[in-house]
Amino acid sequence: MDIETLLKNTSRSLYLSVQALPGNMRPAFGIAYLLCRYADTIADTSILPAQRRLYWIERFPLLLKEQNRQEISLLASEICGGSENPYEKELIKNLLPCLQVLNQVSAKQLPIIMDVVQAVCDGMKIDLNAFPEEHSAQIQAFQTPDDLQHYCRLMGGKPGLFWSRLICTTTKIDMPEKEFYELGQHIGDALQIVNILRDLPKDLRIGRCYFPAQDLAQHGLTAADLLIPENATRFEPVKRKWILWGVNNLKSAVRYFAQLPKCQPGGRAAVAWPVLWTADTLLKVWQTPDLLNPQKRVKIPRSNIYSTMLCTPPILISNLLFNKWLGGKLGKFN
Confidence at residue 7, expressed as pLDDT on a 0 to 100 scale: 74
**How crowded is residue 248: how many other Cβ atoms within 10 Å of its Cβ?**
14
* % pLDDT > 70, the chain: 96
State yes or no: pLDDT of 334 exceeds 80.
Answer: no
Whole-angstrom distance, CA of residue 67 vs CA of residue 47: 24
| pLDDT, tens digit, 9 for 90 and up, residues 311-333 | 999 999 999 999 999 999 999 99
Confidence at residue 218, expressed as pLDDT on a 0 to 100 scale: 97
| pLDDT, tens digit, 9 for 90 and up, residues 169-197 | 989 999 999 999 999 999 999 999 999 99
Confidence at residue 21, expressed as pLDDT on a 0 to 100 scale: 80
pLDDT average, residue stretch 120-134: 95
Instruction: Tell me if 57 sits within 8 A of 129, measured CB to CB.
Output: no
Note the CATH number of domain 131-334.
1.10.600.10
Instruction: Tell me if 267 sits within 8 A of 171, measured CB to CB.
Output: yes
pLDDT average, residue stretch 141-170: 96
Confidence at residue 182, expressed as pLDDT on a 0 to 100 scale: 98
Identify the band that residue 143 occupies on the pLDDT scale cut at 50, 70 and 90: very high
**How crowded is residue 71: how many other Cβ atoms within 10 Å of its Cβ?**
14
Taken as a whole, the chain contains a residue count of 334
Per DSSP bridges, beta strands 208-209 and 140-141 are parallel
Residue with the larger pLDDT of the pair 83 and 243 = 243
Residue with the larger pLDDT of the pair 5 and 295 = 295
Residue with the larger pLDDT of the pair 88 and 53 = 53
Q: What are the angstrom distances between the C-alpha of 153 and each of 150, 186, 233?
A: 5, 8, 28
| Nearest in space to 6 (alpha carbons), one of 91, 96, 86, 95 | 91
State yes or no: pLDDT of 9 exceeds 80.
Answer: no
Instruction: Tell me if 95 sits within 8 A of 69, measured CB to CB.
Output: no
Mean of all residue pLDDT scores within the chain: 92
Q: What are the angstrom distances between the C-alpha of 311 and each of 17, 165, 272, 276?
A: 15, 28, 11, 11
Could you give the 3-state DSSP secondary structure of residue 157?
A: helix
Model-level pTM?
A: 0.93
The DSSP bridge partners found for residue 208 are 140
Residue with the larger pLDDT of the pair 118 and 297 = 118
- 10 Å CB burial of residue 254 (0-12, 13-18, 19+) is middle
The domain spans of the chain are: 1-106, 131-334
Instruction: Tell me if 171 sits within 8 A of 266, measured CB to CB.
Output: no
Go through 23-51 and write b for each residue having 16 or more CB atoms within 10 A of its CB, e for each that does not: eebbbbbbbbbbbbbbbbbbbbbeebebe
Identify the band that residue 123 occupies on the pLDDT scale cut at 50, 70 and 90: very high
| DSSP-assigned letters across all residues of 215-237 | HHHTTT--TGGGGSGGGHHHHHH
| pLDDT, tens digit, 9 for 90 and up, residues 249-293 | 999 999 999 999 999 999 999 999 999 999 999 999 999 999 999
